[in-house]
C-alpha cells in the first residue's frame, strides 16, 4: 500500500508538472502574439491546430481501434504458457486485458502519427476564400484550388495512406502470431475471420489508390524541374482519360476484392488486383511511350504548339518579374546575407538580428519594446516556467520589464506572416537613426498549374509573387509589413483577414530607408521622402518625449527634443 501511494504521488507530481508547463507555454504564446498585435493570427493558429490534431487523432484512433478490436475478437481465447515448479500449463488471458492492449496500441499509433499531420498554415490557406478569377483550361478550376486547397489535400492524402499502411502492417504482424494466419506446406492458411478482415483492408487500400489517381490527374498540370516533359497532347488526350478509366476499374476491383474475400474466392480477388496493376502500368507508362514513338515528330510538334503557348501565358502570370534560367538559384533582387564583422557591428545595438537566441528583458521605459510585460504573480511565474528562466522570478527584474523571446529576425517574421515565403537575404537599413531589418515576402506555391518552375529563394516554385516587405525594428523588435503595391489574391485575402499583416506606416518608412544612419549633427534631414514619412518621424519623436517625461528621464527627453528640432529645422 505504501509503494502504491508513492507511485501515485510520483505520477500525480509528473502530471502536475507537465500540465503546468503546457498551460504556462500556452499563456506565454498567447501573450506574445498579443504583444505583437497579432491576436487574430494566434486565434487562427489555435483553431487550425485544434481541427487538424483533433480530427487526425480521432480518425487515427478510430481506424486503429476498429481494426485491433476486430483482431482481438478473431483471436478468441488467448492462452499464454505458465510454469509452476516442474509443471507447465496454459493460462487464459482475460479478455479485458486484450481489449486494454488494443486500446493502448490504438492510442500509440494515433500519437505516433500526430507529428506527420498537415501543417496548420495549409489548412489556414485552404479555409480562406481566395479567388483568382481565372481557371485552368482543362479542369475549369479556379487557380486558387491549386495554390490553396490542393497542397492541403496532398498532405492529408500522404498522412492517411501512411495510417492505412501502418495499421495494415500491425494487423498482419499480430495475426501472424496467432493460429488464424500461418504458413504451412500447402501454402498460406487463414481463418474465416482473418480472411474477411484482410479483404476489407485490401479494399480500403484500393480505394485510397483511387484517391491517388485523382491527385495524379492534377499533378499532370503541375510541372516539376525534375520532369522530362510538361503537359502536352499526350497527357491531355491519353493520360487524363486513362487515369479516369483506371479510377473506375480500381473501384470495381475494390468491390470485387471485398466480395471475393468475404466469400472465400481468393483467386478472383487476386485476378482483380493483378488486372489493376497491369492496367496502371499500361496507362501510365506504356501508352504514352507508344503514342510518342508512333506519332510522327512533325505531327506531335504541331499538336503541342497550342499547349506550349498556354504554358507560356500561365508562366507569365505566375511571376511578377522576368523569368530567369531554370537552374538559377536567384534571391529575387535581395542583397546577400551579412556575415562576419559587418553583422556583428549591427548586433551591438539591436534586440533582434539574424541568428539571435536567448531571452532578453528590457526595463527601459523610454523604449516601446514589442514584448510581453513581465508583471507579477501568475504572469511572472508562467513566463519563468514557460521559458525555463528562473531569473525572471528575481526582484531585480521589475514588473514593467518587457520580454523579448523570439529574437531571430526570420523566426519572428515567420510567426507573424506564416503563409509567405521569405526572401533569400535579410538586409540592414536605417530610417533616420533607427536600424530596420528588411525581408521581402512572397506568395509562393509549388502547385500552380501550367507554369514553368523556377528555383527561387532556395526552393522550387511554380508561382511567386511579391506580397510585401517586412521591417523589423532593431531597437523595439516590432514587426511591421508594407504590402506590395498590387498584391496577388493570396496576399490580398490574408491581409484582409488579419489586420496585422499590413501597416500603412511601413510603406512610408520603407521609402525613406537608407544604407547608413542619419546623423542629426550634420544638420540635414533624413533621406528625402513624402510628408507622410515626415509626420511618422515627428510622431515617433513626440511619443519618445512623452515616454521620457512619464519615466522622469529628462536626459532622454532632451535628446528627443533636440532630434525633433533638427528634423523640423531644415524644412522651415
pLDDT digits (tens, 9 = 90+) for 364-421: 766 788 899 998 888 899 999 999 888 898 888 888 899 999 999 999 999 999 999 9
Residue 459 to residues 116, 231, 430, Cα–Cα distance (Å): 21, 22, 29
State the Cα–Cα distance between residues 17 and 11, nearest whole angstrom: 10
Burial class (CB in 10 A: 0-12, 13-18, 19+), 21: middle
Tell me how far CA of residue 451 lies from CA of 224, 304, 361, in angstroms: 9, 15, 48
User: Nearest-CA neighbor of 220 among 233, 202, 205?
Assistant: 233
Nearest to 171 by CA among 265, 77, 73: 73
Compute the chain's Rg from CA coordinates.
Answer: 31
Annotate 236-270 with b (16+ C-beta within 10 A) or e (fewer). bebbbebbeebbebbeebbebbbebbeeeebeebe
In this structure, what C-alpha cell is assigned to residue 274? Answer: 493483378
Mean pLDDT of the chain: 84
For cell 504590402, the residue is 483
Site of grid cell 511601413: 506
Examine the pLDDT at 99 and tell me if it is beyond 50. yes
pLDDT at 527: 47
Q: Per mean pLDDT, which of 61-65, 90-94, 171-175 is the most reliable?
A: 61-65
Sign of the torsion formed by the C-alpha atoms of 194, 197, 200 and 201: negative
* pLDDT: which is higher, 534 or 29: 29
Q: Which of 28-42, 227-241, 422-436, 551-565 has the lowest mean pLDDT?
A: 551-565
Percent of the chain with pLDDT over 90: 52
Q: Indicate the pLDDT class of residue 71, thresholds 50, 70 and 90.
A: confident
DSSP state of 34: H
- Is the pLDDT at 229 greater than 80? The verdict is no
Question: Mean pLDDT across the stretch 128-137?
Answer: 92
Whether the pLDDT of residue 73 is over 90: the answer is no
Q: What pLDDT, on the 0 to 100 scale, is given for residue 425?
A: 87
Sketch the domain layout of the chain as residue ranges. Answer: 1-30+359-404, 36-78+94-178, 180-318, 406-516, 518-572
What single string gives the DSSP state of each residue in 422-465?
Answer: EPS--EEEEETTEEEEEEEEEEEES--TT---EEETTEEESEEE
Whether 127 and 113 have beta carbons less than 8 Å apart is answered as no
pLDDT recorded at residue 395: 83
pLDDT at residue 520 is higher than 70: no
The residue behind cell 508562366 is 315
329 has pLDDT over 50: no
Does residue 154 have a pLDDT over 70? yes
Closest of 279, 308, 263, 316 to residue 462, by C-alpha: 316
Residue 338 confidence (pLDDT) above 60: no
- Percent pLDDT > 70 in the chain is 82
The model's pTM? 0.83
User: What are the CA-CA distances from residue 58 to residues 51, 73, 128 (Å)?
Assistant: 10, 22, 24
pLDDT of residue 532: 61
Among the listed residues 365, 363, 369, 366, the one whose alpha carbon sits nearest the alpha carbon of residue 350: 369
Q: Is the pLDDT of residue 533 over 70?
A: no
Please report the pLDDT score of residue 126 as a whole number: 94
User: Which string of b and e fits 505-534 if b means at least 16 CB within 10 Å?
Assistant: bbbbbbebbeeeebebeeeebbbebeeebb
The sign one gets for the Cα dihedral 546, 548, 554, 558 is negative
CB of 140 closer than 8 Å to CB of 456? no
Going 287 to 290 to 292 to 298, the CA torsion angle's sign is negative
The answer, yes or no, to whether residue 464 has pLDDT greater than 90, is: yes
Q: Which of 269-278, 490-499, 552-561 has the lowest mean pLDDT?
A: 552-561
Predicted pLDDT of residue 420: 96
| pLDDT at 530 (0 to 100) | 57
192-219 and 150-176 helices, crossing angle to 10°: 160
Q: Which of 72-86, 293-307, 498-512 has the highest mean pLDDT?
A: 293-307
Which has more confidence, 134 or 554?
134
* Residue 286, Ramachandran bin (φ over 0: left; ψ between -120 and 50: alpha; else beta): alpha
Other beta carbons within 10 Å of 98: 19
Q: What is d(CA 52, CA 23) in angstroms, rounded to the nearest whole number? A: 20
- Return the higher-pLDDT residue of 330 and 186: 186
| pLDDT greater than 70 at residue 548 | no
Position 450 scores a pLDDT of 92
Q: What is the pLDDT of residue 268?
A: 92
User: How high is the pLDDT of residue 31?
Assistant: 94
pLDDT at 326 over 50: no
User: Lowest mean pLDDT: which of 182-196, 266-280, 320-334, 554-568?
Assistant: 320-334
CA distance 552 to 366: 10
Residue pair 156/118 in contact by the 8 Å Cβ criterion: yes
Amino acid at each position: 500500500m505504501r509503494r502504491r501511494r508513492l507511485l501515485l504521488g510520483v505520477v500525480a507530481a509528473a502530471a502536475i508538472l507537465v500540465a503546468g508547463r503546457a498551460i504556462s507555454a500556452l499563456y506565454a504564446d498567447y501573450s506574445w502574439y498579443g504583444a505583437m498585435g497579432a491576436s487574430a493570427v494566434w486565434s487562427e493558429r489555435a483553431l487550425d491546430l485544434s481541427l487538424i490534431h483533433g480530427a487526425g487523432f480521432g480518425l487515427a484512433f478510430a481506424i486503429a481501434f476498429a481494426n485491433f478490436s476486430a483482431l482481438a475478437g478473431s483471436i478468441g481465447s488467448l492462452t499464454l504458457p505458465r510454469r509452476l515448479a516442474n509443471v507447465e500449463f496454459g493460462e487464459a488471458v482475460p479478455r479485458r486485458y486484450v481489449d486494454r492492449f488494443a486500446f493502448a496500441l490504438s492510442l500509440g499509433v494515433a500519437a505516433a502519427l500526430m507529428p506527420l499531420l498537415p501543417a496548420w498554415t495549409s489548412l489556414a490557406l485552404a479555409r480562406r476564400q481566395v479567388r483568382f478569377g481565372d481557371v485552368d483550361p482543362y479542369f475549369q478550376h479556379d487557380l486558387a484550388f491549386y495554390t490553396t486547397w490542393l497542397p492541403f489535400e496532398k498532405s492529408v492524402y500522404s498522412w492517411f495512406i501512411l495510417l492505412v499502411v501502418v495499421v495494415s502492417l500491425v494487423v498482419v504482424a499480430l495475426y501472424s502470431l496467432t493460429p488464424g494466419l500461418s504458413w504451412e506446406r500447402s501454402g498460406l492458411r487463414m481463418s474465416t475471420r482473418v480472411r474477411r478482415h484482410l479483404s476489407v483492408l485490401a479494399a480500403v487500400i484500393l480505394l485510397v489508390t483511387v484517391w491517388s489517381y485523382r491527385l495524379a490527374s492534377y499533378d499532370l498540370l503541375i510541372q516539376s524541374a525534375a520532369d522530362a516533359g510538361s503537359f502536352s497532347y499526350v497527357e491531355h488526350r491519353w493520360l487524363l482519360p486513362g487515369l479516369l478509366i483506371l479510377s473506375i476499374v480500381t473501384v470495381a476491383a475494390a468491390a470485387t476484392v471485398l466480395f471475393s474475400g468475404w466469400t472465400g474466392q481468393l483467386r478472383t480477388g487476386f485476378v482483380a488486383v493483378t488486372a489493376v496493376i497491369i492496367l496502371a502500368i499500361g496507362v501510365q507508362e506504356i501508352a504514352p511511350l507508344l503514342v510518342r514513338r508512333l506519332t510522327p515528330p512533325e505531327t506531335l510538334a504541331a499538336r503541342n504548339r497550342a499547349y506550349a503557348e498556354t504554358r507560356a501565358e500561365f508562366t507569365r502570370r505566375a511571376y511578377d518579374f522576368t523569368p530567369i534560367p531554370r537552374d538559377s538559384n536567384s534571391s529575387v533582387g535581395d542583397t546577400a546575407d551579412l556575415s562576419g564583422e559587418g553583422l556583428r557591428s549591427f548586433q551591438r545595438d539591436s534586440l533582434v538580428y539574424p541568428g539571435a537566441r536567448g531571452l532578453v528583458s528590457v526595463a527601459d521605459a523610454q523604449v516601446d519594446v514589442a514584448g510581453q510585460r513581465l508583471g507579477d504573480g501568475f504572469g511572472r511565474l508562467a513566463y519563468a516556467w514557460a521559458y525555463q528562466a528562473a531569473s525572471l522570478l528575481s526582484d531585480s527584474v521589475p514588473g514593467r520589464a518587457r520580454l523579448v523571446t523570439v529574437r531571430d529576425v526570420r523566426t519572428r517574421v515567420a510567426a507573424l506572416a506564416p503563409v509567405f515565403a521569405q526572401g533569400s537575404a535579410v538586409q540592414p537599413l536605417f530610417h533616420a537613426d533607427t536600424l530596420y531589418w528588411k525581408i521581402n515576402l512572397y506568395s509562393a506555391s509549388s502547385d500552380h498549374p501550367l507554369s514553368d518552375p523556377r528555383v527561387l529563394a532556395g526552393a522550387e516554385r511554380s508561382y511567386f509573387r511579391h506580397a510585401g516587405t517586412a521591417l523589423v525594428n532593431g531597437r523595439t523588435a516590432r514587426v511591421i509589413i508594407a504590402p506590395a503595391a498590387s498584391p496577388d489574391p493570396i496576399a490580398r485575402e490574408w491581409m484582409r483577414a488579419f489586420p496585422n499583416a499590413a501597416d500603412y506606416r511601413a510603406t512610408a518608412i520603407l521609402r525613406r530607408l537608407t544604407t547608413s544612419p542619419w546623423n542629426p549633427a550634420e544638420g540635414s534631414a533624413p533621406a528625402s521622402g513624402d510628408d507622410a514619412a515626415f509626420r511618422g518621424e515627428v510622431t515617433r519623436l513626440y511619443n519618445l518625449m512623452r515616454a521620457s517625461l512619464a519615466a522622469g528621464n529628462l536626459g532622454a527627453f532632451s535628446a528627443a527634443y533636440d532630434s525633433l528640432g533638427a528634423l523640423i529645422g531644415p524644412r522651415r
